[in-house]
Amino acid sequence: MFASLKAFRLTAARAYASQRADGLGGNACFNECCGEDSLISWLYYFPVDAQRQVNDYKFKLKKAEQDITQLEGNVSAVVVLNIFVSWLF
């Protein structure tokens, strides 16, 4: 049906914009206010932005896991040191 996802997004954006311009979508001045190009670019870049956010959260999760591992190591070192010091005295 559509050769690519980009072609599908463009077709959907144009159909949506034409409905809005005809007054079927509730705001007849859609093309004057926002423009069809802004909707097309939004539909085109939305998955890119979503993927960027997912990658950002993955990075933050990985960083948090590294911090947790480091803190667990620090706690283990303190426990071992505490046992060693209590053994000395």
Q: Check pLDDT > 90 for residue 67.
A: yes
Structure tokens at 24: 């079927």
Domain that holds residue 14: 5-88
Q: Of all residues in the chain, what percent carry a pLDDT higher than 70?
A: 56
pLDDT averaged over every residue in the chain: 75
What digits encode the pLDDT tens for the residues 26-41?
444 444 445 556 666 7
Q: What's the total number of domains in the chain?
A: 1
pTM, 2 dp:
0.47
Q: Quick one: which of 7, 9, 4, 3 has its CA closest to 41?
A: 9
